[in-house]
């Protein structure tokens, strides 16, 4: 029998925090401080969104189209319910990275964010994410 979690701790829920570091407006500020022109963020993606607080807040407070996935079913369910209740328009999925990365209905992204997941996922999942970024991050996009 295969372990569906691939070593991911799925029986402990992630926090309900907001992570400002994922806010594309902070990216724009960094670009401005460096004297650079920031790209427009029409489509954004958060990989491993936890409870979905940041993705939903960003989606509700901007015109950016937000997408994302989280492997933990209870977290993804909460994030989806929050999106529906808030009317944020965020398209949030309960899929493994490999399944999400192969979706045909995803746009190319101006922004892809990850908060903390890199340190606790498998090497196989890291490879999936690198491939996803290579294929789906627009030229001039921000990671």
Query: For residue 139, which phi and psi values (nearest 5 degrees)?
Result: -60, 130
The whole-chain average pLDDT of the chain stands at: 92
Query: Does the pLDDT at position 45 exceed 60?
Result: yes
What is the model's pLDDT at position 73?
A: 93
pLDDT at 116: 85
Checking if the pLDDT of 9 tops 70, the result is no
Across 75-104, average pLDDT: 97
pLDDT at 1: 43
- Domain locations in the chain? 41-142
Does residue 121 carry a pLDDT above 70? yes
Give the pLDDT band (50/70/90) at residue 22. Answer: very high
Q: Select the CATH number that applies to the domain covering 41-142 from these four: 3.50.50.60, 3.40.50.410, 3.40.50.150, 3.40.50.2300.
A: 3.40.50.150
Indicate if the pLDDT at residue 69 is higher than 50: yes
Predicted confidence at residue 16, as pLDDT, reads 74
Query: What is the percent of the chain where pLDDT is above 70?
Result: 90
pLDDT at 81: 98
The pTM assigned to this predicted structure is: 0.90
């Amino acid at each position: 029998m295969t372990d569906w979690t691939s070593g991911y701790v799925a029986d402990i829920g992630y926090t309900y925090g907001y992570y400002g570091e994922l806010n594309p407006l902070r990216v724009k500020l960094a670009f401005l401080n460096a004297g650079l022109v920031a790209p427009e963020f029409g489509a954004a993606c958060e990989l491993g969104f936890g409870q979905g607080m940041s993705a939903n807040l960003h989606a509700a407070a901007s015109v950016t189209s937000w997408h994302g996935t989280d492997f933990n079913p209870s977290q993804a369910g909460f994030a989806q319910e929050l999106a529906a209740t808030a009317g944020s328009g965020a398209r949030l999925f309960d899929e493994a990275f490999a399944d999400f990365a192969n979706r045909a209905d995803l746009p190319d992204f101006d922004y892809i964010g990850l908060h903390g997941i890199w340190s606790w996922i498998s090497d196989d999942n890291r490879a999936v994410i690198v491939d996803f970024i290579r294929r789906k991050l627009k030229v001039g996009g921000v990671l």
